[in-house]
Amino acid sequence: MKNLFFDLDGTLIDSRADLACAVNLTRQDFGLPPRSTAEVVACVGEGVRLLIERAIPERPDLWEAMLARQRVHYAAHCLDRTVLYPGVAETLEALCAAGWRLAVVTNKPGPVTRPILEGLGIARFFGAVVGGGDTPALKPDPAPLRLAAERLGVTLDADDWMAGDNFTDLAAGRHAGLRRCFCRYGFGEPRDETWDLAIDRFADLRESLSR
């Protein structure tokens, strides 16, 4: 049985609108004008603290207070417009039926990750969920992957996969010795990382892994 670890934002879900909403509500709380969705999305991928520092650079003296507000706003709005990418539920079900063990490993804070998976009806597919804050380090550090494997009750193997849309996912997989699937449809960027497989639609994943 093989193991497959997924990123969340830009891989399983399109969360851009809700991320931008929460950031702009936080900016509004501190008297700052809104930023475009594209500007906010460019700041996503390396955890909520860096999101705030990058998306609200005007007031570093208020970052701690802004971080607290961001958590509140995002928890309240994380499922307003967030959707699964096409084919996600069906493909996850097919992978489980084919014997794959699945886990989510994301830099999104754990307390909001689990409600999103539940709310979108896919939590049942995952034997482990590791979010930002569950380990001291975030991806690209491999520690979150190792914790997910521990929670699955498995040992990471060179035949296991990490799937994601960002360099943090590809690098974490590389550091953990896993094969890597780059999800080109997402909103991350690979930077200098390499991959073993690239897909343009999530629905292509099962067939691509079986080749």
Question: What is the C-alpha separation between 119 and 79, in angstroms, rounded?
Answer: 7
**Residue showing tokens 């193997």:** 157
Q: Could you tell me if 32 and 188 are in contact, meaning their C-beta atoms sit under 8 angstroms apart?
A: no
Tell whether omega for the bond before 140 is within 30 degrees of 0, i.e. cis.
Answer: yes
- For 75-96, the pLDDT digits (tens) are 999 999 999 999 999 999 999 9
User: Which of 110, 104, 101 shows the shortest CA–CA distance to 84?
Assistant: 104
- According to the model, what pLDDT value does residue 66 have? 97
Q: Catalytic one among 7, 14, 160, 169?
A: 7
Which residues of the chain have a pLDDT value below 70? none
- For 15-35, the pLDDT digits (tens) are 999 999 999 999 999 999 999
Q: Is the dihedral of CA 199, 203, 206, 211 positive or negative?
A: negative
User: What global pTM score does this model have?
Assistant: 0.96
CATH numbers and ranges of domains, the chain: 3-14+82-209 (3.40.50.1000), 16-77 (1.10.150)
Q: Could you tell me if 143 and 135 are in contact, meaning their C-beta atoms sit under 8 angstroms apart?
A: yes
- According to the model, what pLDDT value does residue 11 have? 98
Task: Confirm whether 7 is a catalytic residue.
Answer: yes
Q: Could you tell me if 28 and 64 are in contact, meaning their C-beta atoms sit under 8 angstroms apart?
A: no
